[in-house]
Homo-oligomer: A and B are copies of this chain.
């Protein structure tokens, strides 16, 4: 009923600020620009919105920190991001960089309980000895075989299955 709905963009900013603050206590707009690949005016505008939503402490020309609510929301996004990213890496064998990029998009659009399923699955497969450690290797072989016979992507190089661009 309350809760105001958080847009994808807002989630991205929260996540970015959280990450930056991990390393330097506070965020400056410039850092956020770099992290999200947007221009400075976009960041200013976003910060005003975040402040208005009660997620950040912000005053013009000042440093940016997360409020408790912002911290909570950010941690939630990060949880989803990391869970999905793990899934992509550990279950599907996607390389780290692309897994993170992909998680970054998935995290906003998939319902939380389904995201938890992804996370559970990832954990399950890793713990489970129902299928040996063979399992993952076999899948990678299976997937690359499929890949070979598929028009799907233009996939530039694709010379060695993993890490294609």
Contacts of A160 in B (CB 8 A): none
CB-CB contacts below 8 Å: A114-137 with B: 114, 116-118, 120-121, 123-124, 128, 130-132, 134-135
Residue from B94, B98, B128 in contact with A138 in the complex, judged by beta carbons closer than 8 Å: B128
Question: Is A88's beta carbon under 8 Å from chain B?
Answer: yes
Pair A153/B106 contact, Cβ less than 8 Å? no
- Which of A94, A142, A152 has the largest number of chain B CB atoms within 10 A? A152
Pair A143/B117 contact, Cβ less than 8 Å? yes
Shortest Cβ gap from A110 to chain B (Å)? 6
Pair B143/A135 contact, Cβ less than 8 Å? no
A interface with B by C-beta (< 8 Å): 88, 91-94, 98, 102, 105-106, 109-114, 116-118, 120-121, 123-124, 128, 130-132, 134-135, 138-139, 142-143, 146-147, 150, 152-153, 155, 164
Given A120-B139, A130-B132, 9 more contacts at CB 8 Å?
A98-B114, A112-B153, A117-B143, A120-B143, A120-B147, A121-B143, A124-B142, A128-B131, A130-B134
